[in-house]
Structure 1
Amino acid sequence: MASKKKIPIPQVLDVLNPFRQRKERIMQFNPAVGIAMRKPSDAVKITVFNYNATHLIERTLENVSDVFPYLESNGISWINVDGIRKEEVHAIATCFMIHPLLEEDILSVGQRAKMDEIGEHLFCLLPMMYFNADTSIVEQEQVSIVLGKNFIISFQDDPTRDLFDPIREKLRVASSRVRNGMADYLCYSLLDVIVDNYFVVLDKLAERIELMEDMVQHQPNTKTLARINFLRREVLLFKRAIVPVRELVNGFLKSESDLLEDRDTKYFKDVYDHIVQCVELAENYKDMVMNLQEMYHTQLNLKMNEIMKVLAVVTTLMAPLTLIAGIYGMNFTNMPELRSPNGYFVTLGSMGLILLFMIWLFRKRGWF
């Protein structure tokens, strides 16, 4: 687990309402109205890498129609669309003969990760996960990938961020394996980068869990419990998002499509191993957060027991003194001790000796 360091914790009241809204969107999502729920992006950025072992063309396209020539181009084409609008997606789907069902999946929101094989295309949809350090919220972006004979088309929701820069750098190197591979190897590379970033998010969650362990030990209050519940929900939503990715990658392993070369099967197997490990870690972190809740309640019980112990000791110490004071506070005339000139001091001394004796006895027995 990551080393201890100071980590910003969100104010519970500030993040709780947006979290509830996000939870409702995720947990109550209806695929039938997914397209209607999507808001068109303000801007769409289209980049193209056309390459083989000897040449590379890298372009940023102004118009969606500039994508059409790459259907029959030489080499492998990677078309990445940042920002999704119905017009651009429909135009690309029409040109590359992408099935309308796949087009609907690209335009939908909140879809479960899946892999489909329709016609001459392999299609996969999965979440790209990020960790927002300012709010401690796990954010996700839907990524759709279409694999064709000599092309890859990837669609991303957010035009301001992605994880594919390492792949772009490798494509610029003539001797790299991505540059010399086929389209299915590029598809593997995209999946591999996305899955590997899941571990980055898990590391951030692990840091939060470790911080919560310290807070439970030293600050077992209602705010700490609220933060534990917040963290538990983030871990659960993260796990819910990535578990279907295991089936997605397994779909590539089981596929007999001509678009997948036998020599690249081992690479998809490596991604499958990674996602299995990631799911297991997410399950472990979920158990750890549940244990944090139990630890919190245990700390509260221990604190309450300490308070009750102190109260019990004080009550026990005062009981004989209260008894003596009560006896000599009775209004009876025939009480010989009341006429003793030193009776007051003898009584106080006796009470003090009894108190000291009880304190010594309790400490000897280890009661406090």
Structure 2
Amino acid sequence: MSIRCFRFLPDGTVETRDALPARLPDDGANPSVWWFDLWAPTPEQVQSLSDLMSLESHTIEELSEDDGRANIDYFEDYAGLLLYGMLGAEESDQPRPRMINLICTAQAVATVHAQSIGSIEYLVGRVTRIAPQVSKKGVGHLLFLHLDKMVDNSMMLAKRYEQELEVLEDRSVDIDCEDDLLEDLADVRRRVLDLWQVQVAQREVLIELCDNELDHLSDEGRRRLEHVRDHMTSSLEIVEILRGMVGEVRENYRTTISLRSADAMNKLTVFAGLMLPVSVIAGIYGMNVPLWPDPSRPGTFWVVIGSMAGVMAALTVYFRRRNWL
């Protein structure tokens, strides 16, 4: 879809190109740092990148795949990372795992991806601002910026999911909560699980990256990667809490439904209690035997009805005092 090349010059400026160079120039003692970004590349463009960076066949195969577990491979002249970003370039993009192949050599970083990646577009938009630091600190700093922004986006996404779960939690304790809460909860649960799976795999990659020494990483660069690793661990802890919140919201919903059912049964029981003495009186007076008051007297019917109403009124007062109504 597009190729973007950035050359960070020793003087702190950056050159932008829309095509891969035929080869990397020899800049002597102060080499430039390159960033090649390939978005949905064609096989020919992948081959051009392979020729430029002297990639192994295994790496070329990974660049052509559209899925895989996050991992890191070390080769003689470069390291290849398979990572996942969760956010797209646009606010309207739905969060989902988006594969990124990141290749790091002593002089260049290449990012290859089939979909828009929020962290990459963020750095592209600030390429002039980051140029002095990248030129000064080298390719390790550019690698750090990519990884750090990916982790920042994961943390931001975890915060967003936390807010959604807090809303669902409030809904789950409302006695009038609707059944669509479970559908909304299932959607959030799926997205939280996607984020958790991505972060678990990427933390393993960061741990391995910090434990293994890359020749083109300075001591400061390694410390920065350790910071990213710790940041990822903190983000993963938040996601673990979110997974627990999903279960709590589900239990709250079940408890609320049980309370609502119990409340309905309580009302039905009280109503049955009110009708029971009336039914007894009606049953007794329904027998064909003389009873008090004399059936032949005028108003006998209303005396019986009044007695029933009095009993119901007395029971209603009693039930209210016991907080059953």
| Shorter-chain TM-score above 0.5 | yes
The alpha-carbon distance between structure 1 residues 212 and 178, as it changes in their structure 2 partners (threshold 3 A), is same
CA positional deviation for 1:174: 8.1
1:138 match: secondary structure: coil
Matches within 5 A, 1:175-324: 176-218=132-174, 219-324=176-281
Once residues 228 and 106 of structure 1 are traced to their aligned partners in structure 2, the CA distance between those partners, rounded to angstroms, is 35
Q: Which amino acid aligns with 1:302?
A: L
Aligned residues: 319
Q: Which amino acid aligns with 1:143?
A: I
Cα contact 2:5–2:37 (8 A) shared by 1: yes
2:23 matched residue in structure 1: 69
Cα contact 1:75–1:150 (8 A) shared by 2: yes
Cα contact 1:67–1:92 (8 A) shared by 2: no
**2:97 pairs with 121, 137, 140, which one?**
140
CA positional deviation for 1:354: 1.0
For 1:336-355, what per-residue CA distance to the aligned partner results, in whole angstroms no more than 9, with x for missing partners? Answer: 53234332222122112111
2:173 match: secondary structure: helix
Once residues 46 and 212 of structure 1 are traced to their aligned partners in structure 2, the CA distance between those partners, rounded to angstroms, is 42
TM value normalised by structure 1: 0.80
CA positional deviation for 1:143: 1.1
**2:119 pairs with 140, 149, 163, which one?**
163
2:56 matched residue in structure 1: 99
Matches within 5 A, 1:103-122: 103-122=60-79
1:3 matched residue in structure 2: none
Cα contact 1:185–1:264 (8 A) shared by 2: yes
Matches within 5 A, 1:120-131: 120-130=77-87
Once residues 179 and 148 of structure 1 are traced to their aligned partners in structure 2, the CA distance between those partners, rounded to angstroms, is 15
Once residues 298 and 113 of structure 1 are traced to their aligned partners in structure 2, the CA distance between those partners, rounded to angstroms, is 39
The alpha-carbon distance between structure 1 residues 133 and 92, as it changes in their structure 2 partners (threshold 3 A), is closer
Q: Which amino acid aligns with 1:231?
A: V
CA positional deviation for 1:72: 4.2
TM value normalised by structure 2: 0.90
Cα contact 2:151–2:228 (8 A) shared by 1: yes
For structure 1, which runs of at least 5 residues remain unmatched after alignment?
1-42
CA positional deviation for 1:295: 0.9
Once residues 51 and 293 of structure 1 are traced to their aligned partners in structure 2, the CA distance between those partners, rounded to angstroms, is 52
Aligned-CA RMSD value: 2.2
Cα contact 1:246–1:275 (8 A) shared by 2: yes
1:4 matched residue in structure 2: none
Identity over the aligned pairs, expressed in percent? 22
CA positional deviation for 1:103: 1.6
CA positional deviation for 1:56: 3.0
Q: Which amino acid aligns with 1:286?
A: R
For structure 2, which runs of at least 5 residues remain unmatched after alignment?
none
Cα contact 1:170–1:176 (8 A) shared by 2: no
CA positional deviation for 1:165: 4.7
Cα contact 1:49–1:56 (8 A) shared by 2: no
Cα contact 2:3–2:18 (8 A) shared by 1: yes
Once residues 243 and 191 of structure 1 are traced to their aligned partners in structure 2, the CA distance between those partners, rounded to angstroms, is 15
Matches within 5 A, 1:322-341: 322-332=279-289, 334-337=290-293, 338-341=295-298
The alpha-carbon distance between structure 1 residues 256 and 133, as it changes in their structure 2 partners (threshold 3 A), is closer
